[in-house]
Amino acid sequence: MTYSDDFQISSMDELIELIDEVGFVPFFSNEIEGFSLEEHITPGCWYDDADGEFWPAWEWKGPVIREMKCAYGKFLRNKVMYISPKWFPDFANFRRQGYDFDARYDDGLASFYDKELFELLDMKAPVLSKNLKKDGGYGKNGKKGFDTIVTRLQKQCYVITSDFCYSTDKLGNKYGWGIAEYSTPEKFLGKKFENSVYKRTPEESYVRLLKQFKKILPDAEQKKIEKILR
């Protein structure tokens, strides 16, 4: 399957099959036409502009992440994307440029503020975003930049979203937005990820990624693929 094929996703099982087959599934549309769940989903599973309600695609996120043990986060130019367990080690290796977080900080490539939040998250993972903010002292009268730092750590593949949790009423019914739960790939994906993430050079991982993206996006210009990979 490629993103040039005419297909629609109408169930969580079909989304899981897509992630497994192509490896990379952005949630929202982006600069590469057709490269997203949004553009390949049955309309009734997406979003209702009339009453502002979210439909199944939003409800699938947590279950898909848990069932597949896939990576989910803001990996695509500040937009979220699913990445299969098969492809995430190479993606993380390239984005990290072969550095674990401590080595990145020691080489002056990460700020103290990034280190402070990363270490807190790593210590508490898995942790809900609202609890991480509270424990880290972020908020209206506290430290600033929480969302910016978490987004940067996701882009660098040191942090992923490991689930979404919902508030419930007295009858046990879910309501409101799903609250992101954060973890590190090492803790959420385990030894399989740890043992494979640095087994290639970042350059070797990039070549593999570029080949896969050109395969699943046969109509996309290579410069656009290179742009979103970086």
Q: Which pair of tokens denotes residue 85?
A: 């367990």
Find the mean pLDDT for residues 87-99. 98
227: left (phi over 0), alpha (psi -120 to 50) or beta: alpha
Report d(CA 6, CA 4) in Å as an integer. Answer: 7
Give residue-wise pLDDT tens across range 144-192.
999 999 999 999 999 999 999 987 777 777 766 789 999 999 999 999 9
Reduce the DSSP state of residue 48 to 3 states and report it. strand
Residue 226 has a pLDDT of 96
Residue 51 has pLDDT above 60, yes or no: no
When mean pLDDT is compared over 51-55, 111-115, 135-139, the highest value belongs to: 111-115
Residue 54 has a pLDDT of 56
- Contact of 2 with 215, CB cutoff 8 Å: yes
Residue 48 has pLDDT above 80, yes or no: no
Residue 211 has pLDDT above 80, yes or no: yes
